[in-house]
Amino acid sequence: MKTNPPNPNLTEPRWLRLTLIAVALTFLLLMLVVPLAAVFYEALKGGWTLYLQSITDPEAWSAIKLTLITAAVVVPVNAVLGVAMAWLLTRFDFRGKQLLTTLLDLPFSVSPVVAGLMFVLLFGAHTAFGGWLEAQSIQIIFAIPGIILATLFVTFPFVARELIPLMQAQGDSEEQAALILGASGRQMFWRVTLPNIKWALLYGIILTNARAMGEFGAVSVVSGHIRGETNTIPLLVEIFYNEYNFTGAFALSGVLALLALATLALQNIITRIQERKLAAAERNVA
């Protein structure tokens, strides 16, 4: 059977494809690979012993623990709040829904530094509410609770923004069918809703975790930079670098980069699993 040759007007020239690929690879090499390699090179330039001493230093270890604790608190809370927000905005119609949808993107549009300043103005010791909290021996600003609140604010939209388009596309027909067949609201959520959104939820959780560990601006404002107490990894990297402690700065940068790479690897694994499941489902339908 004779096939028609491809229309040259609908295909790009070979030289154009090669040029675009070369530009993309060069950009990735210069902007991502080379800087990342430079961080690990500087971190390990003095040898493994010095590297391990740098990250096990009490001040560095305190920053690592605080970063992990913050992420461990922020990620589950934002996962629950994100699912609740996505459910509200996709399953119910109410007055002010458009305004709430707009406010959901507020942490994306507000500078992290401004976000941190908002918490200082709300919970600072010289404000009415902050002063009352201080009288109750509850310290928010320049303490761990302030760091967690600031990180919660800047990472809040990630889960909801991953779920909303998916839940809108899926609709609620399966959930309504489950309710008609006698399922309770809890059974409907765990057996119908959650399995349908689990991959988008995991992706949103990964993005939230990455941002929580790397947040600098908002945390810098509310932390107070108390050595050994309220410095996360990004804050301590800046402090070490400004003090010309380049080994410690690059060692902690390497830790943060490894955490980011682990997050990226997990994201790729989840994407591959999702693609395999979709391919298997398409083969079963065919």
Residue 258's pLDDT is 86
Residue 10's pLDDT is 58
Residue 24's pLDDT is 92
pTM of the full predicted structure?
0.83
% of the chain surpassing 70 pLDDT: 95
pLDDT in tens, 242-256: 988 888 888 898 888
CATH 1.10.620.20 fits 47-285, yes or no: no
Residue 7 reports pLDDT greater than 70: no
pLDDT class of 4 with cuts at 50, 70, 90: low
Residue 285 reports pLDDT greater than 90: no
Q: Could you state, in order of their start, the residue ranges of all structural domains in the chain?
A: 12-45, 47-285
Task: Answer for the pair 148, 70: CB distance below 8 angstroms, yes or no.
Answer: yes
Residue 16's pLDDT is 83
Point out the least confidently predicted range of 155-164, 231-240, 251-260: 251-260
Cα dihedral value 282, 284, 285, 286, nearest 10:
90
**What average pLDDT does this structure show over 189-201?**
88
Residue 32 reports pLDDT greater than 80: yes
Residue in the structure block whose two tokens are 């940068």 = 253
Distance in angstroms (rounded) separating the CA atoms of residues 230 and 235:
9
**What average pLDDT does this structure show over 76-102?**
91
Residue 137's pLDDT is 85
Distance in angstroms (rounded) separating the CA atoms of residues 199 and 204:
9
pLDDT class of 158 with cuts at 50, 70, 90: very high
Q: How many helical (H) and strand (E) elements, i.e. helices and strands, does the chain have?
A: 16, 0
Which phi-psi region, left, alpha or beta, contains residue 229 (left: φ > 0; alpha: ψ -120 to 50)?
alpha
The contacts of residue 91 (CB under 8 Å, 6+ apart) are: 167, 172, 175
Residue 153's pLDDT is 94
- Which element (helix H / strand E) includes 150? helix 144-155
